Amino acid sequence: MTNREVSTGQGGRAAVVDDVLLAGRELSTAAVLFHSALAARQGLNASDTKALDLVARLGPMTAGELARHLALKPASVTALVGRLEEKGAVRKAPHPEDGRKVVLHFNEEFAARNMHYFAELVGSLRELCERYTDEELEVIVSFMREAARRQGEATRHLG
């Protein structure tokens, strides 16, 4: 019997919601452990890799913008950006409108050198997606994005 079968049996909706929350914790722990191991292989730390992900996904940004996304003080981001630049993960360029600022750009060559670390995981997740219909995957995507937004909001409240 699966967790879903147990949850939707006698426990009803409350049990299913508890299962969702527990699964979220399990996924969070697995993600932190994966990214910590990945960061160690790259000579970075987990915060560095998450910052790099933000620059890769959201596009070029200033260190101040990165600090806001990470809910960190700008001074804390200075060392982080230095590590990313030293590893060749980002490059700095003059801000097009404000010469006092620099813009961080994701280095695609760094990504190409490090994609092999993700190959097994991405392949396994694509295989997992095959178990679900397009409609189910759309629900999963919606839930995950909203959960991420809410967790980001909670992070900002902690900061």
pLDDT for position 1: 40
Same domain, 10 and 62: no
We report the CATH number of the domain holding residue 100 as 1.10.10.10
- Find where tokens 């230095």 sit: 82
Is residue 91 domain-shared with residue 130, that is, in the same domain? no
49 and 95 belong to one structural domain: yes
Structure tokens that stand for 146 in this block: 């909203």
**Alpha-carbon distance 125 to 128, whole Å?**
5
Check whether residue 70 and residue 94 sit in a common domain.
yes
Same-domain check for residues 100 and 124? no
User: What is the number of domains present in the chain?
Assistant: 3
Q: What is the DSSP string of the chain?
A: --HHHHHHTTTHHHHHHHHHHHHHHHHHHHHHHHHHHHHHHHT--HHHHHHHHHHHHH-SEEHHHHHHHHT--HHHHHHHHHHHHHTTSEEEEE-SS-TT-EEEEE-HHHHHHHTHHHHHHHHHHHHHHTTS-HHHHHHHHHHHHHHHHHHHHHHHHH-
Number of neighbours of residue 114 by Cβ within 10 angstroms: 16
Are residues 155 and 102 part of one domain?
A: no
Q: Which domain holds residue 28?
A: 1-42
Instruction: Looking at the structure, tell me whether residues 49 and 89 fall in a common domain.
Output: yes
Confidence of residue 9 (pLDDT cuts 50, 70, 90): low
Average pLDDT over residues 103-123: 95
Portion of the chain with pLDDT greater than 90, in percent: 74
Instruction: Give the chain's length.
Output: 159
Cβ neighbours around 28 below 10 Å, total: 12
| CA–CA distance, 2 with 66 (Å, rounded to integer) | 41
Q: In this structure, are 124 and 141 located in the same domain? A: yes
Mean pLDDT of 12-16: 95
User: Is residue 89 located within the same domain as residue 138?
Assistant: no
Best CA proximity match to 54, nearest among 26, 81, 27: 81
Q: What pLDDT digit, counting tens, does each position of 133-153 carry? A: 999 999 999 999 999 999 989
Q: Are residues 119 and 101 in the same domain?
A: no
131 and 157 share one domain: yes
Whether this prediction's pTM lies above 0.85 is answered by no
The Cα 106–Cα 89 span in angstroms is: 6
